[in-house]
Structure 1
Amino acid sequence: MNDALTDKTFTGLPGVTDWQLVRGGGQDTLLVTGPPPAARASSGPGRDDARATGRAADTGDAAVRGTDLAVLPALMRQLDETALLTMARVLDRTRLFRGDGQPRTDEILEALAVAPRHAWIVRRWLHTLTAEARLHLDAATGRYHSLAVPDRRDHARALRELDGACTGLGYPASMTRFFRAAAERLPLLLQDRTSLQEVLFPDGQTNTAQGNYRDSVPSRWANHAAASLIAGESRRRTAPTPLRVLEAGAGVGGTTGTVLEALGDTPVDYLFTDVSPFFLRTARDVFGDHPGLRHALFDIQTDPLEQGLEPESQDVVLAANVLHNARHAGRCLAALRELLAPGGLLVLVESCQEHYQALTSMYLLMSPAPGEQEWFTDLRAGQDRVFLTAGEWARQLDAAGFDPLPVLPHEEHPLAAAGQRVISGRVRSHRARPDPGRVRAALAGRLPPALPLPRIHTVDDIIRPANPTGAPC
C-alpha cells in the first residue's frame, strides 16, 4: 500500500466510523468498525456457556488430580532462578561489566554479536535482571552496572538440579536436556549460528516439544479444559452434520490428541493445520487414519480465504499456543471470526505470563524471521514482548466481534499463576458492522488502479497501541 495515502483515503467510507490500516502479512488489511450500539449487554456468558466453562474447569482439575499444585510455584521459581543465573553468566562473558564497566544496551548487543532479530531477547534479559535486582540501570545515562555474576559452580549445580523441578512440573527427561542444551548454546543461538529447532527436534523427534505442550501440569490442565469446551459444542448442536473444527497452528499436536479423545465417537470434520509441512507429516504418523481428520497448510498471518477456506465454514476454531505469533492479534481474530458460523466458538490456549526459563530457550522461536521488517503491529508495537495478558486477550476478542467467556483457570485457581490459560469466545450476532463489499467498492473508487486493495475485516472496535514509543513492559 502506497505510503502517500492519507487519512482522507479512508475517511467517510460507507458505514465506517473508525478504521485502522494494518501493514504486512503479504497484503495490507483495513480494519473497519461502525457506530457503537446505544448499549451493549454485559451480563456475561449465557446459561449454557456458563455450564460449559464450569465443566471445562472441572475437567482440567480431573486431569491433574493427584498432583500437589501447592508446590508448583516453588518449582517454577527454581526454573526461573536457573534462567537468571544463565542470563548473568552469558552477559558476563562480554567482560563489559567487569571492574567499573557500565555498558549501554547497544554495546552489550554488539559484544554478544546478537542477530538483530534476537535483540529483543537480550533487552528482556536486561529488564528482567534489573527488576530482580541482579543488575542496575542508571536511568539518566542508560548505562547498566553492578551485574551480579553467579559462581560457575553454582550455575552448574542449578543446571543439574533442573531434573527435580522438571519432574515435579510433569516434564519428561528430554525437557531437562533441552533446557540444559539451550543454556549451553545460548551465545551461538543468539548469533543465529545454530538454531533452537535443532535442539528442540533432535533427529526430527518431537518428544521434547510434546512434553512442553502436552505433558506438563499447566498444559495438561489447559488442554483438557479446552477439549471439554469443544466436546460441549457437539452436545449443543442440533444439526446432523459432523462438527466442523479447524485447529490453527496445531504443531506437534499437543492439544489435538486430547481434543480427539474428548470428542470420542462424535462425527467430526477436523482440519489439522500448520504453517510447516513437517508437522503435517508428523500428525499423519501420530494420528493415523482417525475418522474425519484432514490436514492442510495454513498460515495465521495470511487471509484464510486466500488459503482456500470458506466464510462461516467452521463450528469451532482452536488455536493452542500459536496466536501470540500473530503480528496483529486483532486482524487475526477478525479473520478467524469470519470462518466461524453464527454462534461459533473460538478456543485459545495461551501463555499469559512471561517465564524467565523461556527467555533462555523457547522464546528464540518467537523472534521475527530473518529479514522481517516489522514485528508486532498491534498493542505490542514497540514493546519487547510476545504474550498478551488474559485481560488483553479478552479485550481483543470483544473488539473482534466475540462475546468472551470466562478465562480458565480462574484467577484464584492454584494454576492461574502458571500463566497457561484457556481463552474462549462465541461469535457475537447482535452487532451491525459495515458491509465489507460496500467498503471495498467505495475504496476501489478512491485508489489509483495500480494500487492493490487491502483486505477488509470488520470489527466491533479498534484497539491501538497504548505505548507506541515502546518502553519494554
Structure 2
Amino acid sequence: MTGTLTDTVLTALPGVTDWQLLPGGPQDILLVAGPPPAPRGTSAPGPDDARAVEDGDSAVLGTDPAALPAAMRHLDETALLTMARVLDRTRLFRDGGRPATDEILAALAVAPRHAWIVRRWLRTLTAENRLTRDPATGRHHSLDVPDRRDHARALRDLDAACRALGYPPAMTRFFRAAAERLPLLLQDRASLQEVLFPDGETGTAQGNYRDSAPSRWANHAAASLIAGQARHRPAGGPLRLLEAGAGVGGTTGTVLEALGDTPVDYLFTDVSPFFLRAARDTFGDRPGLRHALFDIQADPLTQGFEAGSLDVVLAANVLHNARHAGRCLAALRELLAPGGLLVMVESCQEHYQALTSMYLLMSPAPDEEGWFTDLREGQDRVFLTAEEWTRQLDAAGFDPLPVLPPDGHPLTAAAGQRVVAGRVRPHDGRPDPGRVRAALTDRLPPATRLPRVHAVDHIIRTTTPTGDPR
C-alpha cells in the first residue's frame, strides 16, 4: 500500500504542514502535523511533583542510597564476565583470533532476532576495555576472558548486591539461571519466560517490577502523580484510568492504594491473557477494576476505546516496546480528555545485567519483519533516555512534566528508573485525522486500505548512525 502514498498524494492535505509515513505491517501509519504550537518547554516543578518525590523517598526508607551504585555495578560486572565467558566458548578469540561480528553470531548459532543483543555485547565490552575492535576492518580481538573461578565467585556474590537493591532471593536465582542458560536462550532453544515465570508463577517478575528499591520509588512516585490528578479532577464520576501493559501488576497495587476510596474506572490491560488471569487472582473484585486485552502497537480506536474518554494513562515499563514511540504516544494522547495525564515508568539508562537476562524478552518476534522505526532504528537499543522521552512527549502533543527522580537525587544515577509524565496540551492547530483520511479517500484508488492517521505537534525525523559493528 505504501507505493500508492506518493509525495503527490500526501502534499497539501487539509491542515497538514509536515508528515511522516511509517510502514506498519498490514496497515501503514501516517503522522501529520500542522503549524507548531508556541514553545513551552518542560513544566516547572509544582506541589504534586514535590509530593511525588516525598512519596518515592518514603517508599525506600531503610535503603542506603549510597550503597546502590556499588550494588548495581556488581550486577553489571557479573554480566560483563558472563558475556566474555560466552564469547570465549566460540574459541574464535583464542590464539590471536580476530573474528568479525557475523562469524561470532554464526559460531554462537544466535537466532536472528537476538543478534542485536550480541552486537550490543561487543560494543559494551569494547567500551569497558574488555575487547578491542579494529575500526578499519570491524574485526574484534584481545577479549579479556575471566577465570572460571572469578565468574563463579561473582555469580555467588550476587546475593549481597541484590539484597542491597531490594531484590528478593527469587531475582538472584533468575539472574543466575539466565547466565547458565544464556547460549541456549540466544539460540531460542530455551525460553526466558520459563525462567522468569517458573511453573506460571509471577513472584520473580514482581521482585523486579515491584520489590526492588528503584521500582518501589518509581511506583510510589507515579502513584502520587495519579492521586494528584484524582484530587484535581472535576467533581462527579470516577477517575477513568487505563493501565497499558500492566504485566504482573507491579505498579497497579501501589496506584490503587494511593487512590484509596477514590471512585475509579480502572482498566487493567495487557497484550497477554496470562497477565489478566494473574491480575484477577491478585486484585480480586476490587470495585471499579476491569480487565481487557490491549496492544500498544495497534490503534487504540480499533480496540474499542473512544477518543477523549480517559483521565489518566499509566504505562509502567512497557512503552519502550513501542515500535515507534511517537506514534504510540500520539495514539495514547487521543484517548485522553483535555488536561489528561500520561504517566510512564521507564528505564532511561542501560544496565549490563539486562543484556544477559531481560533483554531477551525485548527482541522482535521470530516472524516480525521490522523492529523499531523511530529514533532507535538501526541502533540495536531499546531504551530511550529521559531527555529523548521528554522530546517525544512534546512532539506528540503533551506538555512534559519534570522527570522524577530529579537530577542530583541519589537514585537517579544509580538506578536509571525514571517517572516520565506529560499533560495533554491544547493546540487548535493540530490536523484533524478524520479530514485527512477523507482527503486521502478522494485521492487514492477505490478499495485502497487507508493508513492509520495520528496527529502530532512535531515530526521527529529518524537518523541512523553509522559505524556500528554489523
Which residue identity does 2:218 align to in structure 1?
A
**Aligned-pair CA distance for 1:133:** 0.3
Using a 3 Å threshold, how does the CA distance of structure 1 residues 470 and 365 change in structure 2: closer, same or farther?
farther
Using a 3 Å threshold, how does the CA distance of structure 1 residues 411 and 472 change in structure 2: closer, same or farther?
farther
Alignment partner of 1:31 is 2:31: yes
Using a 3 Å threshold, how does the CA distance of structure 1 residues 324 and 160 change in structure 2: closer, same or farther?
same
Q: Give the one of 379, 382, 387 matched to 1:383.
A: 379
**2-side partners of 1:112 and 1:150: how far apart?**
19
- Provide the identity percentage: 79
Aligned to 2:22: 22
Q: Give the one of 342, 345, 363 matched to 2:341.
A: 345
Aligned to 1:93: 89
**Aligned-pair CA distance for 1:468:** 5.7
Alignment partner of 1:267 is 2:258: no
Aligned to 1:458: 455
**Aligned-pair CA distance for 1:174:** 0.5
Alignment partner of 1:201 is 2:200: no
Aligned to 1:440: 437
**Aligned-pair CA distance for 1:36:** 2.2
Q: Give the one of 105, 111, 117 matched to 1:109.
A: 105
**Aligned-pair CA distance for 1:26:** 4.1
**2-side partners of 1:458 and 1:106: how far apart?**
41
Q: Which runs of 5+ in 2 are unaligned?
A: none
Aligned to 1:5: 5
**2:66–2:410: 8 Å Cα contact kept in structure 1?**
yes
| Runs of 4+ residues deviating >4 angstroms | none
**2:166–2:211: 8 Å Cα contact kept in structure 1?**
yes
Q: For residues 195-247 of structure 1, what are the alpha-carbon distances to aligned partners after superposition, in whole Å with 9 as ceiling and x for unaligned?
A: 00000000000000000000000000000000000011111012310000000
**Aligned residue runs from structure 1 range 55-134, under 5 A:** 55-134=51-130
**2:75–2:353: 8 Å Cα contact kept in structure 1?**
yes
**1:25–1:301: 8 Å Cα contact kept in structure 2?**
no
**1:321–1:351: 8 Å Cα contact kept in structure 2?**
yes
Q: Relative to structure 2, which stretch is displaced further, 192-201 or 8-17?
A: 8-17
**2-side partners of 1:175 and 1:36: how far apart?**
46
Q: Give the one of 250, 254, 257 matched to 2:250.
A: 254
Local SS of the residue matching 1:336: helix
Which residue identity does 2:438 align to in structure 1?
A
Q: Give the one of 297, 303, 306 matched to 2:299.
A: 303
Local SS of the residue matching 2:454: strand
Which residue identity does 2:310 align to in structure 1?
Q
Local SS of the residue matching 2:243: strand
Alignment partner of 1:41 is 2:68: no
**1-side partners of 2:255 and 2:468: how far apart?**
39
**TM-score, normalised with respect to structure 1:** 0.97
Which residue identity does 2:449 align to in structure 1?
P
Q: For residues 118-151 of structure 1, what are the alpha-carbon distances to aligned partners after superposition, in whole Å with 9 as ceiling and x for unaligned?
A: 0000000000000000000000011000000000
**2:101–2:469: 8 Å Cα contact kept in structure 1?**
no
Aligned to 1:449: 446
**1:2–1:451: 8 Å Cα contact kept in structure 2?**
no
Using a 3 Å threshold, how does the CA distance of structure 1 residues 18 and 340 change in structure 2: closer, same or farther?
same
Q: For residues 50-72 of structure 1, what are the alpha-carbon distances to aligned partners after superposition, in whole Å with 9 as ceiling and x for unaligned?
A: 11111101110111112110110
**2-side partners of 1:45 and 1:10: how far apart?**
34
**1-side partners of 2:274 and 2:326: how far apart?**
28
Using a 3 Å threshold, how does the CA distance of structure 1 residues 4 and 110 change in structure 2: closer, same or farther?
farther
Q: Give the one of 349, 353, 359 matched to 2:355.
A: 359
Which residue identity does 1:56 align to in structure 2?
A
Aligned to 1:423: 420
**Aligned residue runs from structure 1 range 373-412, under 5 A:** 373-412=369-408
Which residue identity does 1:426 align to in structure 2?
R
**Aligned-pair CA distance for 1:470:** 7.5
Using a 3 Å threshold, how does the CA distance of structure 1 residues 259 and 472 change in structure 2: closer, same or farther?
farther
**Aligned-pair CA distance for 1:467:** 2.4
Aligned to 1:276: 272
**Aligned-pair CA distance for 1:367:** 0.2
**1:242–1:266: 8 Å Cα contact kept in structure 2?**
yes
Local SS of the residue matching 2:85: helix
Q: Which runs of 5+ in 1 are unaligned?
A: none
Which residue identity does 1:106 align to in structure 2?
D
Q: Give the one of 327, 332, 336 matched to 2:328.
A: 332
Local SS of the residue matching 1:440: helix
**Aligned-pair CA distance for 1:472:** 7.3
Aligned to 1:211: 207
Using a 3 Å threshold, how does the CA distance of structure 1 residues 280 and 472 change in structure 2: closer, same or farther?
farther
Q: For residues 284-305 of structure 1, what are the alpha-carbon distances to aligned partners after superposition, in whole Å with 9 as ceiling and x for unaligned?
A: 0000010100000000000001
Alignment partner of 1:156 is 2:167: no
**1:124–1:472: 8 Å Cα contact kept in structure 2?**
no
**Aligned-pair CA distance for 1:41:** 3.4
**1:19–1:33: 8 Å Cα contact kept in structure 2?**
yes
Using a 3 Å threshold, how does the CA distance of structure 1 residues 226 and 26 change in structure 2: closer, same or farther?
farther
Which residue identity does 1:41 align to in structure 2?
R
Alignment partner of 1:172 is 2:168: yes
Q: Give the one of 130, 135, 142 matched to 2:131.
A: 135
RMSD after superposition: 1.3
Alignment partner of 1:287 is 2:283: yes
Q: For residues 302-350 of structure 1, what are the alpha-carbon distances to aligned partners after superposition, in whole Å with 9 as ceiling and x for unaligned?
A: 0001000111110000000000000000000000000000000000000
**1:383–1:470: 8 Å Cα contact kept in structure 2?**
no
**1:231–1:263: 8 Å Cα contact kept in structure 2?**
yes
**Aligned-pair CA distance for 1:445:** 1.3
**TM-score, normalised with respect to structure 2:** 0.98
**Aligned-pair CA distance for 1:35:** 1.4
Local SS of the residue matching 1:32: strand
Which residue identity does 1:256 align to in structure 2?
T
Q: Give the one of 312, 317, 336 matched to 1:321.
A: 317
Alignment partner of 1:467 is 2:464: yes
Local SS of the residue matching 1:3: helix
Matched residue count: 469
